[in-house]
Amino acid sequence: MKKIKFFKISGTILVLFSGLFFYLYGQPKLKPDEAAFQEIKLLFLDEKWAEACARLDNFLKQYPYSPLYRQAVFMKARSLAQLPGKTEEALKAYESFLEIKPVSPSLAEEAELAIINLAGSLVAQGKREYAPKIESRLQSSNKVVRYYAAIKMSYFKEKSLAEKCIPVLKEIITEEKDEELRDRARIALLRVSPRELSELEEKSQAERPLVLKIRVEKKGKKEPEIFISIPWSLADLALRSIPEKDKERLRQQGYDIERVIRDLSRTRGQIIEIRDEDTIIKIWLERD
């Protein structure tokens, strides 16, 4: 029994000492560049932008081959962007970041958007030479970057510059499914060229398929007995395929199918009504 007790106590002491040893010596020691970067990250998270920039400058000079170098350049760009009067430096820092390969796609996108935003601010201050920084991104393979560049350019006061974003704005309006995004593009295009927006909307309206609507109402009732909505191409074919004997019978009852087809084609948007004692049939064409 004493031996068992001794081994239990010895085992407990061993566990305690091994835990203490791991606490003191088991944690991996940070390399100099990692330790310096951790301190800078704290400044960055505390939004101490000026101090973070100064420390990042030192870091980049001292550790040019550090695996953290790319991240440090990005953090420097973001810090500079928060400081008044440092817009041009921030833009150059973001461009430097994009030159370091490979670049994380998400960080690359963020850097591209930041460049557009910073360049837009500089153009608004009268520094027209920064407009190409945005214009070049109208050709980006990343549609988020391309769209943001177009919307940003729509605010340019100089019409010759603003008009360069029109093709991309039209692309958004005609191809995107997001209604909110399309509305933003419409507003941007209206800002740049009301005529272009009007022509685009007219063209879009003309390209929408024609639909035949038929509504059968009983007198004295609010709700229709029958409501049919079918593509006009199919409806026209169906109406024309009615046998002549049936068409003649309908004519005798006052329903001339050929005349209805002619009237619908000629007076799109207007409602043709066929009435008898207790029924009203309304037929019209509209764009879906």
* Amino acid 57: pLDDT: 95
Any long-range contacts for 246-253 (C-beta under 8 Å, 24+ apart)?
none
Give the residue carrying structure tokens 């009237």.
263
Q: How far apart are CA 173 and CA 246, in angstroms?
A: 47
Q: Which residues of the chain have pLDDT under 70?
A: 1-28, 204-209, 232-233, 235-243, 246-247, 249-250, 253-255, 257, 261, 264-270, 272, 274, 287-288
Contact 255, 263 (CB under 8 A): no
The domains of the chain are located at: 32-206, 210-287
Contact 239, 256 (CB under 8 A): no
Q: What angle do CA 65, 66, 72 make, to 5 degrees?
A: 115
Asked if the peptide bond before residue 102 counts as cis, ω within 30 degrees of 0, the response is: yes
* Amino acid 205: pLDDT: 63
* Amino acid 137: pLDDT: 97
The predicted-structure confidence for 116-128, as pLDDT tens digits, reads as follows 999 999 999 999 9
Q: For residue 58, what are the contacts with CB-CB under 8 A and spacing of at least 6?
A: none
Q: How far apart are CA 174 and CA 197, in angstroms?
A: 11
Contact 272, 257 (CB under 8 A): no
DSSP codes, 149-207: HHHHHTT-SSHHHHGGGHHHHHHHHHH---HHHHHHHHHHHHHH-HHHHHHHHHHHHHH
Q: Which CATH architecture group holds 32-206?
A: Alpha Horseshoe (1.25)
Contact 204, 174 (CB under 8 A): yes
CA trace torsion 142, 147, 150, 155 (10° rounding): -140
Q: How far apart are CA 68 and CA 62, in angstroms?
A: 12
Q: For residue 36, what are the contacts with CB-CB under 8 A and spacing of at least 6?
A: 55, 59, 62, 63
